[in-house]
Amino acid sequence: YIDSLPTLVSKETNRLHSDFNQVVTATGRLSSSNPNLQNIPIKSEYGRKVRKAFVACDADHVLVSADYSQIELRVLAHMANEPALLEAFHQGQDIHSRTAMEIFGVTADQVTSDQRRVGKTLNFALIYMQGPYATAKQLDITMPQAKEFIDKYFNAFKHIKPFMDATLKAAHENEYTETLFGRRRYFRNINSPNKALMKEEERQAFNAALQGTAADIMKRAMINLYRKLQDNKFRSQIILQVHDELVLEVPRAEIEAVKALVVQEMSNAAKLKVPLKVDVGLGNNWLEAG
């Protein structure tokens, strides 16, 4: 993968230029190709070195990275109208710790790193409708333990299961689910007699409502931000979009103004029952910025 990157550098600009595709992903997110710049790793040592190689155009510019914090869980809190999640986000709590508090019956200062890991796993298992088997495997626990955690989760967040059931009921009736903005994704096999196929479509249908809404919010943010940059005659440019993150190339003289504008436009791209939190970083390269 790394070997191919230098061969794709433009001879005219001496830079990499990815293609961004509007309608390739089923969820509605932008995808990137030639090269795919959305799967540059970050968790490994080698991955971090690759990120460090993506630099601003010259010494007078920096890269600014703006990332939505827990956007899918915030969308879930809004769409399910779940009081415990709404409260946690309004209070600025660490959502995985809050989930651990509910599951283990402990206070915030008592949550251990292992308990937080359980909370995090359960939060994302829910978004992807992961069952006890996959959850047990992920946490390296028994199936009965995983089922107990999942039952405790739904007991703690009482509005979520009814929301899931209602979403899937509508999906079975209509053969589609909708994002918050009315964009539909169709599921023609959701009523299939093949149980494995039906279950897979159910998982995708529930996730489509959440991840699709997150994708819509990001696109609205990008459009609004681009317009504001043009209107204010900023020289800063959006150069990359990766899932819940925007990367901009910003002249040093515009740093503070553009950082404020990015937060403003991303935070206000949708009016949810919880705030849209945006984390911003900057640096001479993508690793420093991210």
pLDDT in tens, 246-276: 999 999 999 999 999 999 999 999 999 999 9
Query: What mean pLDDT value characterizes the chain?
Result: 95
Per-residue pLDDT of 148-180, as tens digits, reads 999 999 999 999 999 999 999 999 999 999 999
Q: How far apart are CA 154 and CA 141, in angstroms?
A: 19
Kindly report whether the peptide bond that precedes residue 132 is cis, defined as omega within 30 degrees of 0.
no
> Residue 105 — left, alpha, or beta (φ > 0 → left; ψ -120 to 50 → alpha)?
left
Per-residue pLDDT of 116-143, as tens digits, reads 999 999 999 988 888 899 999 999 999 9
Q: How far apart are CA 90 and CA 174, in angstroms?
A: 34
25 has a pLDDT exceeding 90: no
pTM greater than the 0.85 cutoff: yes
Q: What is the pLDDT of residue 31?
A: 92
Residues 6+ apart with CB under 8 A from 206: 129, 164, 167, 168, 171, 177
The answer to whether residues 190 and 172 touch, using CB atoms and an 8 Å cutoff, is yes
Nearest to 119 by CA among 140, 147, 98: 98
Per-residue pLDDT of 29-81, as tens digits, reads 999 999 998 888 778 888 899 999 999 999 999 999 999 999 999 999 999 99
Per-residue pLDDT of 177-228, as tens digits, reads 999 999 999 999 999 999 999 999 999 999 999 999 999 999 999 999 999 9
